[in-house]
Amino acid sequence: MKQSFPPLINPNSRILILGTMPGEKSLACQQYYGNKQNQFWRILYRVFQREYSEDYETRKSLLMEFDIALWDVLRSCEREGSLDSKIKQATANDIMDLIQKYPKLKTIVFSSKNAEKFFYKYLSEIPDVEYVTLPSPSGAHASMRLEEKIEHWKKISQL
């Protein structure tokens, strides 16, 4: 059984970005979006016009600077490899509890259509929370160029 990470969050977090479940490389290095092929961090650095960093602590600081929390829809699952389509026996994180503990969270951003799909499969919409779905930053989502993804992801800088 694979386990997700605890949330990256601070008391001022206003936006919660939800992924589906960390992939193999992220689990191995114990970092959100740790696969170098994933464009998540490159996108965020471009959106917030900051110099890109490979350092994980610096990356987490970027999130905190802009009051962004990061977590996954799923707490645990069985999965061979990293593809969301291979997820079985999933259990969801208690996102409602997180929202109650951090009342400034008013927006949930799904980092892919799969994250949105799993959210609605296991959880219910939370009152007074806005929902936004953005294109997957995964390198496997090659039908959209990085520049196009960045344009979509700029929405989070306006929330």
Q: Which residues are catalytic?
A: 38
CB-count burial class (<10 Å; 0-12, 13-18, 19+) for 113 = middle
114 neighbors 135 (Cβ within 8 angstroms): no
Which long-range contacts (C-beta less than 8 Å, at least 24 apart) are formed by 103-107? Answer: 104/11, 104/12, 104/13, 104/14, 104/67, 105/13, 105/14, 105/15, 105/16, 105/69, 105/129, 106/14, 106/15, 106/130, 107/14, 107/15, 107/16, 107/131, 107/132, 107/159
Count of Cβ atoms closer than 10 Å to residue 47 Cβ = 20
